[in-house]
Structures are given as C-alpha cells and as structure tokens.
Structure 1
Amino acid sequence: MLANLQRREPRLPKWFMPAPVIALSLAAWSPPALAYRPFDGTDAAVAAPGELEIELQPAGRLREEGNTTLVAPATVFNYGLSEGWEAVFEGQGQTPLSPTGPTSLTATGAFLKHVLQPGALQDKTGPSVATEFGVLLPDSTGNSGVGASLAGIVSQRWDWGTIHLNAETALTREHHADLFLGAIIEGPSKWTIRPVAEFFYENEFGKSETVSALIGLIWRVRDDLSFDVGLRHALTNGHPVNEVRAGLTFGFPLVPSPVILGTRPLH
C-alpha cells in the first residue's frame, strides 16, 4: 500500500500473534478477492463492496547498516465500503535481531482509496486511475507523531503485462515532507506464476534519500489465493538496504453482494 510498509517504514496487539494461522485457515474457504503484495506501491483497484481482503507477510528479513530486523507480521486489511471505495488499515511488527531488542508496532496507518476512473483493472478500456489518502499513526515506541499522505495511482494492462505508476506526497510521522515516485511492472496476468519488479525513488526531505529495486514472483494458486516472494535492494543515503519479503493474499465477503465489481487484478 502507499505510505508503504517500509517507508510508512508494533507493542503488538495480542490478536496479531496468531495472524498467520488465521490467515491460512480463512484462505481455505475464501471466494475471489485480490490484493497487492509484495510491493511498496499499489494498484488502481479496490476491494469489492462488502469484501475484506488481507495481505499478510508472516515473516520478513530486513538488513540495513549492519543491523538485522525481523518484520513479522506485516498486515494490510482492505475493506470494500461501496462501489469504487475501500478502507485500508495496516501495520507491522519489527523485532531487532542483531543487535537484539524489543518488538515494536510500526508503519501503522488508516487510509481511504477511491477509483477515480475505471479502466483496465475494472475490465474496461483505458488506464485505471485511483487516489489514496489518510493518516500515518505513531509507532508504539519512540517519539513519532501523526502524519498524512496523498497519492495518485495509474494502472494499465496489456497482453504482455501490467504497469502501475505511483506518486505520493506525505508529511511523515517526524513531520518531514516526503516524495515517493514508483513503478511496478508485472508479467502477463494469465500466467499462473509471473515475474514482477518494482522501482522507486523516495526523498524524505532533510532526512533521507532512497533508490530501491525489487524483483519477485507471484504464484496464483487459484483466483482467491496467491503467494508471493520478493527480494529488495536499496540505497538509503548511500548505505545498502537488503530485504526478503514473502507472504500471501486472500479475502472473503463480510457482507453478501449479488454483484461483485471493482475487484483487484489477479495476483
């Protein structure tokens, strides 16, 4: 999602702890519902009305400036409010491994996402255009405050693949201005396993500048369940950042709907 998990990089709530078990159990009976992993950016689509989509990373590894951190779990909840609108809630646990330290709740936020122009991701012609905006909530440790973000997303699909362009401006939790520009490139959506890549540039003015590249795979087991893996390498202020991401996406209806429209593209 935007105001992303690394940039937008949990004291963990107790219900977070069994999240991987719950996720795998729900995935066994969930109908078609599609979300977006393992990227920092997002796509110009929303959950269908009454659907809950869950993006879950049970565990990931982040290494930066000689420090290793366990990212577990990282979770995004997308709920379809009405046609073309969804609510997004996200957060992640971070546990320092080397050196060791306590687990904290980070990258939490609440957002609204709206499809401004239905297009290829809504089975129409032309590009899909969406916006996402909301608040960045304080981390459970440290002195961070409340921030805000506003993003624009354009997605287009062809037979050979799909491209999603992201542009975001934000006021970070430390009250710095932030600019994020990113592009996601996917292989053909009809492939069961397809290659993916993401490139982004981010400037948190007065603090850090990041250039990042991710390569990965998305395996669509069926229309309602997919798994992903990604390797990310970045330079932040000239220092290398390496990350391993792996997770799954699934969903299920909370409110029955006779017509399901506006679902996300297959992942």
Structure 2
Amino acid sequence: MDARTRAVHSIVLEDPELDFAPLPPVKSQLVVFDFDWSLADQDTDRWVHEVLSPRLRIEFVERKPTMQFTDMCAYLLEELHKEGHTRQELEDALRQMPIHPAMLRGVRWLGAQSVPHTDFFLLSNSNEVYIRTILGHHGMLDPPVFREIVTNPASFTESGLLQLRRRIAPDGPQHTCTVGCSANMCKGDELDAFRARHADEHYERIVYVGDGGNDYCPILRLGPNDVALVRRHRGLAQRILNEGNVRCTVRYWSGAWEAEQLLRALGATA
C-alpha cells in the first residue's frame, strides 16, 4: 500500500512510514492552516453542541444532508439560544476544545525562527467567534500568531445569541469554483486573494495544513515548490487518492506529535 492509499484505508493510526526529513531550505514561506481537525483537535461546529446540547448534536446529523452547512450551523445556534444557553456557557465550551500541545509547540517553534521567515494564515469554514475565543485561550492572539484569519463572520447580540453568517452572502456575487467548495466560501479563491494582497512578500514556499474535502481546492493552487501537510483518514486524503492532480509535495500525519515534526522540517536552513 502506498502512502496515499494508507492515508485513507489503513485502520492503524501509527503507520510505520514517517517522513520527517527536512524540506529544501527557503528564505520565506507562508503556512496556511485550516482550523477544525487541523490546528485544533476537534470540530468547532459539532463540539459546542456535544458539550451543551446533545439533542442539537443529533439534529446536526439529521439536517446536514439537506441544508447549506453554514446556514444549518446558524440555525442550530438559534436553537441553542432558545434552550437558554448563555454566551458565557458557549465561550466556556469553546475554551475546553483541545489544541494539542505538540501542535502549539510546532507552530511557536517555527514562528520563532528568523530563517526561514514564516508567516501564518488561518483559513477556515468555522467562524470568527469560535476561532478567536479558542486562540485567545491558548495565547495565540496577543501577540498574534496569524497574519490574517479568514472565516465566516459571527457576533453576539445583546441577548447572547451568536449570529453566524456566510462569508459569501447568498444575495451577493457567488464564487465560480467547480472543484466542490461550499457556497459560503471558496478556499482556493481565498488563498489566491491572500497571496495577491501580500504579493510583496515573495513567499518562496506555500505550505497548507488541512484535513477536509474543502481543503482540496486550495492545494490544487499549489505548485511543485509547495507542500501540503495532510491529516490521514479524513476527507482531504480521500480526495487526493481519488482525484489526484496535486502538483505539490504531500506529507501525511495522524497525530499532532507528527505534525510538530513536519513543522520543524519546514525550518530547515542551508
């Protein structure tokens, strides 16, 4: 079984093929992180209901096949508010959601290196409140680890309802992605837009850390000098196996202890 097949089909989390060899040295790089099951070791949209309302977690499963995902999450937050759950309870639940210490170590170590210079960009289908609450709890907002955070907008009302909206409003211009991105966001377009906004940085390498099927579009935008760090046994690994067409180097990981070593491999110097 090759690495791509094992990343999808192996039932063993500790596969024997570990590739932590240093990558070619560069002077500057951009590391793009998905959030759920990539930087964090859980899924924000599911987690809040697992902690606060198992009834709504069941409804999540039931409604997912028939509703646009972000709209469904917004609806479930309204239902959570109707149940009487407060802003404090929601924020407390988010602070309990895990980011593995090894992932934190790897990010902080890489960010502290002067060569290569590394910028971090967070690109997620979660939402601003979820992400900023969790990052703040782990000390990743002050000073900020990420140069930008691109995700769905969200804010609390005076009554404590968390109102969630699509990044691309349903009544405005829509993206034209044909790869399969959700209506609320094309991650490939968002990556291209970030690179255009920061074209003066001249990043020599783009690294994408992801796990889900919606991370397939942005890694298709990467070239031969770039790297995808792909979590095994999840949707992105499945799409790479089934659809291919990926030009960048792909390395796989299961646990954050492996991701930490891969992040350290990005710090290779000449």
- One fold, TM greater than 0.5? no
Q: TM-score, normalised by structure 1?
A: 0.29
- Which structure's residues are more often helix, by fraction? 2
Q: TM-score, normalised by structure 2?
A: 0.28
Larger RCO, structure (CA 8 Å, separation 6 or more): 2
- Which structure's residues are more often strand, by fraction? 1
